[in-house]
């Protein structure tokens, strides 16, 4: 696939200038000189503004090293899995809201962020699922704290597969963010075009952050400033920034992310929430499952696909309410009477 030309990054409301001048040239319309104010508005923010620790997790007997961000010191672990093309920093603002009452671990999946593996293009659902399981075991051994898996989009599918595998001891919750099998599979035929039509190259990180909220997937500048830099890499040959993850090269895995997802989600033996941005149409299995009370569905208004980035406070409140309602403590479900009994 040939990358889109530099002119693919246009100012908001600007005309198509691909035939006349680059959006970065002096003749670009509308002109937008790099003022101190604009650079400051879209300046990158370090992960440490929201997380407490960044840790490389090396997997024994492999070349794989997964990067995780950690926040908080008490309560159960909210283990977050981002969507395709995002990174663990997609959960930065939400982590800052959650960490006072629960621990947050956000992982850079294979081929994303700062994680490095022997095959970064192997984004098969089986490989991604195994990656998460081995990282959790590397972090916590055979006696992990209580864990709530949270997954957005592609990461939601990975979270479901991890939960369905029943390989994580002390798993007490599953939160799937804005992914429904039927809608996801139906959208796959358009995905290559969507990837091709997005801005492909950026002269600076600031321009990439600006594009992400003006013409890209995000609506929250504060989240974009911390999450977008980790989704980019510098291309020496073109002297510009481009995407860290070449999603267009992973098409053969896309269908596997979502096929059979609804039934697998319903089969997971833990408490479940489906968070949706807008009234996504549930398929038959999910509709019946919801009517039977097998999971809770929450529709979040006034947000884009990345709910955790666009409305992090509301997202965090749903996670904390889920933990509270299900009485999930640092080591599992807490029953007050039993706690008192064991304390004597």
Q: What is the pLDDT of residues 144-181, one digit of tens each?
A: 999 999 999 999 999 999 999 999 999 999 999 999 99
Exactly one of 112, 161, 305, 318 is catalytic; which is it?
305
Q: Where are the alpha helices (DSSP H) in 167-229?
A: 181-187, 191-197, 205-214, 221-227
Rounded to two decimals, the pTM is 0.87
> What are residue 256's phi and psi, to 5 degrees?
-65, -25
pLDDT of residue 39: 75
332: helix, coil or strand? strand
User: Quick one: average pLDDT of 12-30?
Assistant: 35
Structure tokens at 105: 């671990």
Confidence band, pLDDT 50/70/90 cuts, at residue 3: very low
pLDDT number for residue 282: 85
Say how far apart CA 42 and CA 223 lie, in whole Å: 11
Active-site residue flag, 153: yes
Please give the pLDDT value at position 335.
Answer: 72
Quick one: residue 32, left, alpha or beta (phi over 0 = left, psi -120 to 50 = alpha)?
beta
Active site residue 61: no
The band of 337, judged by pLDDT with boundaries at 50, 70 and 90, is low
Under the banding of pLDDT at 50, 70 and 90, the label for residue 283 is confident
Across the range 245-269, mean pLDDT stands at 97
Indicate the burial class of 259 (C-beta count within 10 angstroms; 0-12, 13-18, 19 or more): middle
Q: Select the CATH number that applies to the domain covering 43-333 from these four: 3.20.20.370, 3.40.50.300, 3.40.50.1820, 3.40.309.10.
A: 3.40.50.1820
Q: Confidence class of residue 336 from pLDDT cuts 50, 70 and 90?
A: low
Question: Which of the residues 64, 108, 131, 178 is marked catalytic?
Answer: 178
Give backbone dihedrals phi and psi of 203, rounded to 5 degrees, phi first.
-70, -20
- Lookup: tokens for 13: 């409301």
What's the pLDDT at 34? 54
Average pLDDT over residues 191-199: 96
For residue 30, pLDDT beyond 70 = no
From the list 153, 157, 212, 227, the catalytic residue is 153
- Catalytic residue flag (residue 178): yes
């Amino acid at each position: 696939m040939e990358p889109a030309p530099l002119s693919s990054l246009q100012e908001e409301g600007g005309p198509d200038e691909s035939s006349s001048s680059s959006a970065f040239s002096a003749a670009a319309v509308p002109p937008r000189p790099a003022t101190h104010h604009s650079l400051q508005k879209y300046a990158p923010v370090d992960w440490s503004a929201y997380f407490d620790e960044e840790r490389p997790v090396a997997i024994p007997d492999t070349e794989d090293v997964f990067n995780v961000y950690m926040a908080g010191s008490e309560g159960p672990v909210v283990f977050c899995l981002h969507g395709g093309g995002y990174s663990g920093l997609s959960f930065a603002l939400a982590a800052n809201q959650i960490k006072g009452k629960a621990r947050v671990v956000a992982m850079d999946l294979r081929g994303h962020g700062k994680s490095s593996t022997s095959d970064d293009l192997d984004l098969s659902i089986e490989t991604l699922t195994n990656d998460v399981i081995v990282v959790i075991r590397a972090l916590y051994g055979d006696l992990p704290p209580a864990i709530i898996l949270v997954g957005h989009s592609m990461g939601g599918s990975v979270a479901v597969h991890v939960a369905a595998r029943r390989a994580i001891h002390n798993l007490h919750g599953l939160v799937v963010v804005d992914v429904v099998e039927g809608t996801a599979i139906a959208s796959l035929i358009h995905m290559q075009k969507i990837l091709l039509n997005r801005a492909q190259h950026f002269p600076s990180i600031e321009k990439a952050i600006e594009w992400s909220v003006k013409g890209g997937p995000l609506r929250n500048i504060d989240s974009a400033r911390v999450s977008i830099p980790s989704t980019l890499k510098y291309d020496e040959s073109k002297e510009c920034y481009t995407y860290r993850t070449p999603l267009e090269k992973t098409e053969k895995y896309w269908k596997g992310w979502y096929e059979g997802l609804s039934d697998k989600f319903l089969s997971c033996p833990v408490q479940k929430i489906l968070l949706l941005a807008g009234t996504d149409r549930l398929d038959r299995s999910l509709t019946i499952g919801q009517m039977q009370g097998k999971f809770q569905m929450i529709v979040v208004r006034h947000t884009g696909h990345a709910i955790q980035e666009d409305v992090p406070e509301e997202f965090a409140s749903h996670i904390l309410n889920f933990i509270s309602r299900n009485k999930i403590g640092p080591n599992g479900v807490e029953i007050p009477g039993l706690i008192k009994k064991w304390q004597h």
